[in-house]
Amino acid sequence: MIERTKILLLVAVLASAAISLFAGQINPYYYDILISIGINIILATSLNLVNGYTGQFSLGHAGFMAAGAYGSAWLSLAFGYVLGTSAAGTTTMFVLALTTGGLIAALAGLAVGIPSLRLRGDYLAIVTLGFNEIIKGVIQNAEPLGAQRGLGGMGQHTNFFWTFALAALTVYVVLNLVHSTYGSGFLAVRDDEIAAEAMGINTTKYKVLAFVIGAFFAGVAGGLYAHFKQFIHPEGFNFLRSVDIVVMVILGGMGSTAGVILAAILLTILPEGLRALAHQPWLPDSLRPIAENRMILYSLLLIILMITRPQGLFGGPGLKRRKA
Amino acid sequence: MIEFLQQLINGLAQGSIYALIALGYTMVFGVLRFINFAHGDVFMLGAFAGLYTAPSLLKLCGGGPSFPGAAAVLLAAMLICAVIGILIEKLCYRPLRDRPRLTVLITAIGVSLFLENAGQYAFGADPQSFPEIITDRALEIPESWGALSALTLTVGQLLVFGVTFFLLIGLRAIVRHTRTGMAMRALSFNPVAASLMGVNTDVVISFTFGLGSALAGAAGILTSIQQPSIDPLMGINIGLKAFVAAVLGGIGNIPGAALGGILIGLLEALVVGYINPSYRDAIVFGVLILILLVKPSGLLGKPEREKV
Amino acid sequence: MSAPLLHLENATMQFGGLKCVSDLSFAVGTGELIGLIGPNGAGKTTVFNLITGVYRPTLGNITFAGKSVVGHRPYRITSRGIARTFQNIRLFGSLSVFENVRTACNMHLRHGISHALMRGPKFAAENRETECFVDELLTIFGLTAARDEPCRNLPYGDQRRLEIVRALATRPKLLLLDEPAAGMNPTEKNELMKLIRFTQEKFGLAVLLVEHDMKVVMGICQRIIVLDYGRKIAEGTPAQIRSDPKVIAAYLGKEAA
C-alpha cells in the first residue's frame, strides 16, 4: 500500500511533466478543460478529507479557494518583479505564490475549524457557508484586491505540469493520511465522535487538522486558477462554486478518493458537453436553457442520488445510518 | 433621533418578513430536526405565485389595486405555497425519513438549487416587476405630531406590520389550541412517544410544511408590495437571513423565530444606517457564528445533549 | 493501605432538577474487579460518563492515580489510563475489525503527521510494531478470522468482544465495562466471564463492571456497589450484597423485603 502510493505519485508527476512538453500542440479549448480537471481534482480530493473522511460537512470550500487565489495573486502582483524574469526566477516566484496562497487559505481553515468544534451536521454546513460569504465580502470591500472589479494581470504560470503534479501531491497526502494509524483518527471522528474520544483520540485536533489541510490544498488550487485564468473575481468563489465541489464529492462517494477523482473529471467535462449539446440544431429550443444551465441537472442529480444511492455513484463506505 | 426612529421602522418592516420565513425553518426543525434549505425558495415561489395570479384575481375584485384584491392575492400565494411545501416534503424528504441528517440536508440543498434554477428556466432569469396589487405610498403624518411628521411610513410597511401581527396571532392559536397544533408540539418534544400515543406523524409533518410554506408565501407577497422587482434568486439571501433569525431565537422555538426575525431586521437597518451597507450580509453571518459559539441554543431555545 | 487507583468523592450529577447521581463515593484499587449494579435508571452509565469525562460532575471530585480528572476532556482521561466500552455498542462502523483496534493505538504513536506523510523507515518500523500488537490482541480474543471484515458484519457477541479489545488497545490501567453481557446467551456469558477474569489477570487491570446479569456479577466480582436512584445503597462482597435487605427492596420493591 505504502509503496504503491509512492510509485503512483512518481508516475503521475513524470507523466504530467512529459505531457507538459507537448502542451503547445494541444488545442487551447481542450487544454483549458484539462487544467480545469486538474484544479477540480485538487479541490474535490481536499474537500473529501473534510466532508468524506472526517465527516464534517463543509459548504465553504470556494471560500478557501478564494483566499488562496487572492493571496497568491496579490503576492505575484506586488513582488513578482523581485526575483527577475528568468525562468528560474519566475518559477520560484510562482511556487512561493502558490505556497503563500495555500498558507493563507490554511489560516482561514483554522478560523473555520475552531468554531466547527462545537457544531455538527447542518449547523456546521451553514456556518461554513457563512464563512464563504464573509471571505467573499471581505474581498469585495478590499481595494488592494480590486474589490468588486476583480483582480487581473498575473502571469500565466500555471501549466499542465504544475497542475497535475500538485493534484498528484494532494491525492498522495490524503491517501497517506487516511491509510495510517495516525490518520485513522479522521475516520474515527466521522464514525463516532464519542467513541473516538474514549479511545484517546483528540477529536478537536483532527477536526481542525482536516479543515487546515483541506483549506491549504483548496488555496493551492485557487493559486493555480488565478495564474491560469489571469483574472479573478469575488463572484467566481461564491456559494455555487462551493456546491460544485460538494457535488463532486457526493457523486464520487464521500470517503472514496478514487470515486471523487472520477467525479471531478466527469463533472468538469459534463457542463462542456451540455454546452455543446445546447448548440446542436436538432435540440428543441425549449430544452436549450436546461442544457446551458448545469445547475438544473446537478440539483436533480443530488436529489435522486440521495434518495436512491446516498453512498455516491462510485461506492465508498457511504453515510452512516444513525438511530434517532 | 428621527433618523434613528426611521431606521427602526424600516428594520421592523424587514424584520417582520424575516420572522414570517424564520417560523417555517423553526417549525420544520421542530418536527423533523433538519434545516429545510429550500425554504427561502418557497418564499420566492410565493412572490411568483402572486405575479401570476394577481391579474385575474384583481379583475375579480373590481379591477385596480384594492385591499380585497391584495387580500385575495395574499391568500392565493399562501395556498399555492402550502401545496408546494407539502409536495416537496412528500417527494423529496419523506423517502429519507430515517436516513442520516446529512443526507436530508444535501437533498434540501438539491431542492433549493432546483427551485432556483428551474425557476430561472420557467420564469426567466431577469427581474420582473410585480403588479401593483395595492397602492404603496407614504402616509401623511399630521404636522401636529411635531418632529415625528418627518418620518416616512408607507402603506406597504403598515400592511406588513398588520398582516404579520395577524398571522402570528393565528399561528399561536393553531399551535396552542388545535389538535394538529398540539400534535405538532408533541412531535417536536418526543417523536417516538408522540407516534406511540397515536399521533399520525405523516399528517402532522405535512401540516407543518404546509403551514410554514404558507407563511413564506405571505412574506413573498409582502416583500413584493414594497420592492416590486422579483427574480428566481430572490429567496437565497432572504432565506439565509431568516435562517440566521431562527437560530438567533433558538431553532425549534416559535416565539424565538419571531423575535429573532425582528432583531435581525433591526440589526440590518442599523448597520445600513450607521455603519456601511456593504457590510450588511457579513455582519449578519458574523452574528450567526457568534450565537452558535456562545449560545448555540439561541435566545429562547433549550440546549440539547447527546445521549451516551 | 495505599491510595486507590480510582476514587470518587461525593460525586453528584444534576441534569436540570434531576439528580442522576448524588453524593456518590467509592474507590477502586489496582487490580480489583468491582461490580456496579442497580435497577434500570439507577445512574450506572452516568457514573461511567462522569469517570470518563463525557459529563462533568456538578459537585464532588474524581481522582485517578492520585490526580483529579474533573474537567478534563475524555481523550485526556483515556490517555491517563481509563478505557471503556459502551452499553449501546459504539464501534467505528465503516472500519474493519483490525482498523477499529488500530485506531485505539493512535495516542501511543511516537511519530506524528509528518511520518504518516513521508513514510520513512521509522514510520515503517512503528507501523509494524502497531500491527503486531493489534494482531496479538485479536488472536488472544479469537477475532483473527474476522480481522479484515467490516466490523458491522460481526455477530453481536463478537462486536461486544471487539469493543473490549479496542478498549484494551489503549493500554489502560482501569477498564470500565458497560453491560458487556447484554444480549448474550448463557454459553456466551460464561465465556465472557472467563474472558474478563483472564484479561484482568493478564494485563493487571482494575475492572469496573456494570451488568444486569446477577450470575455474571456475583460470579466474578470481588466487591459490589449497589446504586438506586443515583445513591449508593450498599457495598460489599457478593455474599453480603445477596442478603442485604436494602438491595432486595430496591430490586423487588419494599413489600417483598
The DSSP annotation for B127-156 comes to -EEPP-SS---BPPPPGGGGGGGG---BHH
| DSSP letter (8 states) at residue C205 | -
Whole-number mean pLDDT of chain B? 89
Place of cell 478518493: A257
- Structural domain including C116 reads 97-171
The answer to whether B119 and B45 have CB atoms below 8 angstroms apart is yes
Q: Does some domain include residue C230?
A: yes
Contact of A320 with chain B, judged by CB distance below 8 Å, is answered with yes
Instruction: Output the nine-digit C-alpha cell for B279.
Output: 457590510
Contact A184 C103 (CB under 8 A): yes
ipTM value for the complex: 0.89
**Domain ranges (residues) in chain B:** 2-126+150-294
Q: Each residue of C202-212: b (16+ CB within 10 Å) or e?
A: eeebbbbbbbe
C121 and C183 within one domain: no
Dihedral sign for Cα atoms in the order A136, A141, A142, A148: positive
Residues of B in Cβ contact (< 8 Å) with A115: 289, 292-293
Place of cell 425554504: B39
Cβ of residue B233 closer than 8 Å to a chain A Cβ: no
Q: What is the pLDDT of residues A276-294, one digit of tens each?
A: 888 888 888 888 877 777 7
Contact criterion met (CB < 8 Å) for B35 and A126: yes
Residue whose grid cell is 436512491: A308
**C91 assigned to some structural domain:** no
Q: In this structure, is residue A170 part of a structural domain? A: yes
Mean of pLDDT values over A178-185: 90
CB A201 within 8 A of CB C107: yes
Q: What type of residue sits at position B79?
A: L
- Is the pLDDT at B219 greater than 80? The verdict is yes
A95 pLDDT above the threshold of 90: yes
CB B221 within 8 A of CB B77: yes
Is residue A268 exposed (0-12), middle (13-18) or buried (19+ Cβ within 10 Å)? buried
Bridge partner residues of C236 (DSSP): C224
Contact B296 A119 (CB under 8 A): yes
Among the candidates C123, C148, C171, a domain finishes at C171
Task: Looking at the structure, tell me whether residues C205 and C252 fall in a common domain.
Answer: yes
State whether C107 and C143 are in the same domain: yes
Q: Which residues of A touch C99 (CB under 8 A)?
A: 184, 187
Confidence of residue B112 (pLDDT cuts 50, 70, 90): very high
Domain count for chain A = 1
Tell me how close the Cα of C106 comes to any Cα of chain A, in angstroms. 6
For residue A206 the three cell numbers come to 483532527
Give domain status of residue A87, yes or no: yes
Q: What is the CATH number of domain B2-126+150-294?
A: 1.10.3470
pLDDT of residue B35: 86
Nearest to A49 by CA among A314, A245, A271: A245
Please state, in angstroms and rounded to a whole number, the distance separating the CA atoms of residues A134 and C77: 38
Q: pLDDT band for position B306 (50/70/90)? A: low
- pLDDT score recorded for residue B213: 97
Neighbours of C39 (CB within 10 A): 14
pLDDT for B13 beyond 90: yes
The pLDDT of residue A319 is above 60: no
**Residue C201 belongs to some domain of the structure:** yes
* pLDDT for residue B222: 95
C183-216 pLDDT, tens per residue? 888 888 888 888 889 888 888 899 999 988 888 8
Q: Quick one: cell of B289?
A: 457564528
Contact A202 C94 (CB under 8 A): no
What confidence tier does A264 reach under pLDDT thresholds 50, 70, 90? Answer: very high
User: Which positions 61-90 of C are in contact with B (Cβ < 8 Å)?
Assistant: 86
Other C-beta atoms within 10 Å of C24: how many? Answer: 23
First-to-final CA distance of chain B:
54
Point out which residues pair with C108 in neighbouring strands.
none
Question: How far separated are the first and last CA of chain A, in Å rounded?
Answer: 38
Give me the CATH number covering residue C255. Answer: 3.40.50.300
B299's CB contacts (< 8 A; 6+ apart) are: B248, B249, B250, B256, B259, B260
Of A200-204, B111-115, B153-157, B285-289, which range is least confident?
B285-289
Q: Which of C214, B268, C128 is nearest to B260 (CA)?
A: B268
- Beta-strand (E) ranges in chain A? 151-152, 231-232
Q: Is A322 helix (H, G, I), strand (E, B) or coil?
A: coil
Q: Are A306 and B107 in contact (CB < 8 Å)?
A: yes
Looking at the structure of chain C, the number of domains it has is 2
Distance of CA A41 to the CA centre of its chain: 7
Poorest-pLDDT segment among A33-37, A170-174, B95-99: B95-99
